Amino acid sequence: MVFSTCPSCDLNVMFENVGNNDENKSLICPVCSSHWCRLCSSEPHWPMKCEEFRQWHEKWEQQYFVDKFDMQPDEELLRIWCSCGSVLFLPSGTAHNKLCPGCLCRYDKTGMMCDDYLHWPYYPRLRKRRDLEGKPKEGYKVDVETMPRVKLIAKEFANICTEARNQRFDKDKQVKFEESALAAERPELVDLRKTALILAENCTAWLYIHRAEIHLHKDRSAVSHLLQQYNKVQFDLERKSLTIAKEIDELNSAVKNVIRTFSERINSTNEEE
């Protein structure tokens, strides 16, 4: 048996040990449905090994948010550690008054997280009175780091990863997709969406790490086709196309093809090592 702790809700869980293969490393919390790697406790990262994912994540974490926010030349990227444990990445020009998704406190430009419902922002009259009285803002001082704005990952890889991650974490798109899937009586699309977008991002990351190797054209084509096919399904689902069943079958095939292609590539790499 494998004992582990859910990184999201801290539940202590026990799983059957099904071997040491990379395909069997991911665990799922029975309470909050979070997924994580049983070896390094990070998010699932197949086909990357744990050390490969660590190296990738260090670069990707810095670049993704710069690309995501389309920041102005004079803006800086802030990494803010909220007292609730959440980590926020925000551009300096618009960080003030942004809500923490974990505790719903607001970030104040003075470097504090303030209780939105009680202390800050005050309505104008009270705020002016407190300023005249010399009373400081009330909140919790937090650590704020200014991250360097660097382009560490080549555009051909970063663009695909950014597109996949933006779609994956866009709450409005997620809800709209799930509603359309249920309306079309295709509930299996909810999980298929997650699988397709995670594979597109992680497999592109693997391609970046192994970019010096030759003969990866087939692998790149498989990932590119997967993301294109997902976009087709999303488009046809929204407009209730009559060809949606065909496109869903093609998406399932694209997912299986990516898994098969990268499994073969990893096995080949391991044999060479």
> What is the pLDDT, as a whole number, of residue 71?
80
Strand pairing category for 87-91 and 106-108:
unpaired
One-letter identity of residue 213: E
- Domain regions of the chain by residue span: 77-147, 152-273
Three-class DSSP category at 66: helix
Residues 30-40: tens digit of each pLDDT: 777 677 888 88
> What is the pLDDT, as a whole number, of residue 123?
58
Residues 185-209: tens digit of each pLDDT: 999 999 999 999 999 999 999 999 9
- DSSP for 67-126, written as a single string: HHHT--TT--EEEEE-TTS-EEEEETTT-TTPBPTTT--EEETTTEEE-TTTTSSPPHHH
> What is the pLDDT, as a whole number, of residue 229?
97
Q: Distance between CA atoms of 80 and 5, rounded to whole angstroms? A: 25
pTM metric for this prediction: 0.79
Using alpha carbons only, what angle is made at residue 156 by residues 62 and 149, rounded to the nearest 5 degrees? Answer: 25
Regions of the chain with pLDDT less than 50: 22-23, 119
> What is the pLDDT, as a whole number, of residue 122?
56
CB atoms within 10 A of CB 158: 20
